[in-house]
Amino acid sequence: MSPPVVPSKRILIIRLSAIGDVIMASGVIPCLRTAFPDATLVWLTEEGNEDLLRHNPQLNRVLVWPRRRWRTLYQQHKWLTLWREFRRFRQELRRQRFDWVLDLQGLLKSALWAWLTGAERRVGFGSKEGAQWLMTEVVDRNIHSDLLGKEYRRMMQVLHAAPSRFAMDVAVSFETGERAEALLREEGVERGYVVFCPFTTRPQKHWFDERWSSLCRLLGNATGLMPVLLGGPTDRLRAEAMAAASGVPVGNLCGKTRLDDCAAVIRGARLLIGVDTGLTHLGIAMQRPTLALFGSTVPYLETGSPAGRVLYEKLACSPCHRRPTCNGAFTCMDRHTVQNVLTAALELLEAASSA
């Protein structure tokens, strides 16, 4: 493909969900800003994810699709209100007069918004579900690489948009930083701490609760760092049980933080350990020593950061993604022993202290 014409003014990035994918896709921001320094960069995402983007000085604007509200209006049969809000949102997209739209999701729900902008150039990534028919160009999703963000790096390469500048880009405001410090003080965190991210959407991606408890105790005793658990409101009771079983002081911020609060908490951590969840990717984005425990899924093996390390042992059945065949044994995650994780964590801490 020949080098593209530099967009005259406006580029829309579409990545609606999920949290981890929005975090990884944020790596395109420095690429686009480097290649097209005078362009207006706008990001369209679903409500709930905007806190990851709204403080970024390299973005000119963040547009939020109120999907949950519209679902509620639909369920309540408030058709007229729903139609009016949809029409206003569509008109707002049109008024932006985007030159390029980059659909980093590649699904019909994201492609529809790209198409509704009326932009002359609409580039989709691995577009499916009929989304390909709403794009002017589609970038192949089949990429043989173990590097974090490989698909987004590929799109930047196709667009001649400085792919070498790819780096996840999540910014934290001063106010958010102060709020995170207050939350940590409330949990009794007054010294160095390590963040644990044990929770995610699928049980086959989880490590075992009793092992997290053991790791809290062993790592806390070995380093003097206080474990801090991050997660959502539905994770809080489970986190309380983990903390109680550890026998050491543990900060439990599950359900107390917004996404930008999580970024600020992670930014101040000495180390992050987590499973395949958005918060683990956020550790790498915030340039903190990060240890990722993968099994049924393995989004990357190379983090692109000397401070990031993946623990993963490939089995005949892995990665199984959404189709586990182990009848709940989760053999791939069982391979991560407490001692192996502890050893890797101590190595990362030592490397960080000597850097």
Domain boundaries, the chain: 10-165, 174-354
- Would you state the pLDDT for residue 1? 47
Task: Give the helix ranges, DSSP H, for the chain.
Answer: 19-25, 28-35, 67-75, 79-95, 108-116, 150-158, 174-186, 209-223, 236-246, 259-267, 278-285, 331-334, 338-354
Query: What pLDDT score was predicted for residue 6?
Result: 57
Helices (H) and strands (E) in the chain, counts: 13, 12
Dihedral sign for Cα atoms in the order 231, 310, 345, 217: positive
| Separation of alpha carbons 305 and 58, rounded Å | 22
Give the chain's residues under pLDDT 50.
1-2
Task: Please tell me the pTM assigned to this model.
Answer: 0.94
pLDDT at residue 328 in the model: 86
CA distance 227 to 216: 6
Structure tokens at 75: 């369920």
Question: Which single residue is written with the structure tokens 């180390």?
Answer: 271
| Residue 103 β-bridge partners | 14, 124
* Beta carbons of 199 and 273 less than 8 angstroms apart: no
Half-sphere exposure of 71 (CA within 13 A, CB side): 6
Q: What is the CATH code for 10-165?
A: 3.40.50.2000
Rounded distance, CA 290 to CA 257, Å? 20
* Among the listed residues 127, 130, 122, 15, the one whose alpha carbon sits nearest the alpha carbon of residue 62: 15
What is d(CA 196, CA 261) in angstroms, rounded to the nearest whole number? 15
Gap between the Cα atoms of 248 and 279, Å rounded: 23
The encoded tokens of residue 95 equal 């008024």
Q: In residues, how long is the chain?
A: 355
* AA letter at 353: S
| DSSP structure string for 181-211 | HHHHHHTT--S-EEEEE---S-GGGPPPHHH
Regarding beta strands 100-103 and 121-125, do their DSSP bridges make them parallel or antiparallel, or are they unpaired?
parallel
Tens of pLDDT, residues 190-201? 889 999 999 998
Q: What is 174-354's CATH topology? A: Rossmann fold (3.40.50)
Dist. CA 41–CA 101, nearest whole Å = 10
